[in-house]
Structure 1
Amino acid sequence: MNKELLKKYRYFIISFLYIPRNFIFCFLKLGYWNKSWRFIKLPLIQKHSKATISLGRNIKLCSNPRKNSIGVFQKVIIKALSPESKIYIGNNVGISGATISGKEINIGNNVLIGSGVLITDSDAHPIHPQDRDINSKIKTSPINIEDEVFIGARSIILKGVTIGKGSVIGAGSVVTKSIPPMVIAAGNPAKIITEIR
C-alpha cells in the first residue's frame, strides 16, 4: 500500500473517531451540530442560555499550534455572554486561535481569520474610573465582517466596525473605523494602503 493511500485512510479513521466528540461538545455548548464542521482541537465556547451563536457550513476552527504555519498561542474562543448576544459566522470560514466576543458580531462567508486575532464589539469596561464596575455603562456597537475578508494575524477589530467585502487587514493592525470593500488596510489605527484590483 503506498504512502498516499495510507495517509488518506489515516485521515478518514481519525476524522471518524472525532465525530462523537464533536457531536457531544456542540450539543452541550450550542445545542446543535453540523457534520461539515472541522475542529482541530476543541475551541472554547461560552454562551449565555438566551444568547445565539450561529455557525454556517464548512467551518474550520484551528486551536492546535502544529496545524498553523505561524502557530497559535490560544484556542479559538467564541463568547456570547449576555442574553441578547448574537454571533453569526457564515459558510466556509477558517479561524485560527482567535477570540470573537460580544453582543452583535456578523461574519460573512469565505472569511479567513488569522492566528491571535481579537474581534470584540465592546470596550469591556467603562472609560471613566468611577464607572468601571458598572456593566450597564460599557459601550458596545455591532461589528460586520463581510464576505471574503482576510484578517491577518494578531489584528484587533474594535466596536462599530464594518470591513467591506474582499478586503484584507494586514497582520498586527488595529481597526477602529470601517474599511470599504476590496482594499488592503494596515497599521494602528488601520489605514487604507491600496485597492485590490
Structure 2
Amino acid sequence: MTLKHFFEVYPPKLMWRKMWIGLADLPMMPQHRAKCLKMAGVNIKGRAMIYGGVGVDTVYPDSIYIGKGVRITAGTKILTHYLDPSQPGVHFRRGEVHIEDDVFIGLNVCICSSVTIGKGAIIGAGSVVTKDILPYQVWAGNPARYIKDRAK
C-alpha cells in the first residue's frame, strides 16, 4: 500500500477521531472521557459525565450533541448512521442524536440515529431508544417505551 493510498483509505480526520475515541476507552475520570470525545468531534456543551465503555459512532461523531449536566453510564452506545431499508442493497443514511441538558442514561443503553432526548429525561438500563423522548419523561425497555413523567 502506498502512502497516498493509505491516506485515501484512512483520511487524517478519521484517524484523529478514532485515536480520541480509543483514548476514551482507557480508565479515566468521566469528565476527562467527555473531553476525549469532544476532541473526537462529539459536540458537548458544558460539563458531562461519560462513564467507561461508552461507544460513539466513529463515522459521524460530529452528529452527536450532548447538553450540560448529562450523565451517560457504562456500556451505552450512540449511533449516528443507519441502514436505509427503502434503498436497494446496503445504503446508509446519516442522522443526528441530540441529548439535551440534565439527561440520565442508564447502563448499556443503545441510542439509535435521528433521535432527540429531551431535557431532564431518564432512560432505563438496557433500553433501545428509537424515538424522540420529550422533556422530563422516564423511558425504558427494548424498544424503549414511555413509563411516566418526572418532576421538573
Tell me the TM-score normalised to structure 1 length.
Answer: 0.55
1:128 deviation in Å?
A: 7.7
1:166 to 89, 98, 120: 120
Structure 1 unaligned spans of 5+: 1-27, 31-40, 45-57, 63-75, 81-85
- Percent identity over the alignment is 35
1:143 deviation in Å?
A: 0.9
2:109 to 128, 136, 155: 155
CA distance in 2, matches of 1:188, 1:175: 8
CA distance in 2, matches of 1:185, 1:162: 13
Q: RCO (CA 8 Å, sep 6+): is it higher in 1 or 2? A: 2
Tell me which structure has the larger Cα radius of gyration.
Answer: 1
Establish whether residue 91 from structure 1 lines up as the match of residue 46 from structure 2: yes
CA distance in 2, matches of 1:195, 1:126: 32
- 1:35: which partner in 2? none
Q: CA RMSD in A?
A: 3.0
| Paired residues of 1:78 and 1:99 also in contact (CA < 8 A) | no
Q: What's the secondary structure of 2:42's corresponding residue?
A: strand
Report Cα offsets for 1:12-67 as digits up to 9, x if no partner. Answer: xxxxxxxxxxxxxxxx957xxxxxxxxxx9425xxxxxxxxxxxxx93329xxxxx
CA distance in 2, matches of 1:79, 1:60: 11
Establish whether residue 185 from structure 1 lines up as the match of residue 139 from structure 2: yes
2:75 to 108, 112, 116: 116
Tell me the TM-score normalised to structure 2 length.
Answer: 0.69
Change beyond 3 A, Cα 1:92–1:116: same
Structure 2 unaligned spans of 5+: 1-14
Report Cα offsets for 1:108-157 as digits up to 9, x if no partner. Answer: 1110101000001112x55489623xxxx311211110000011010000
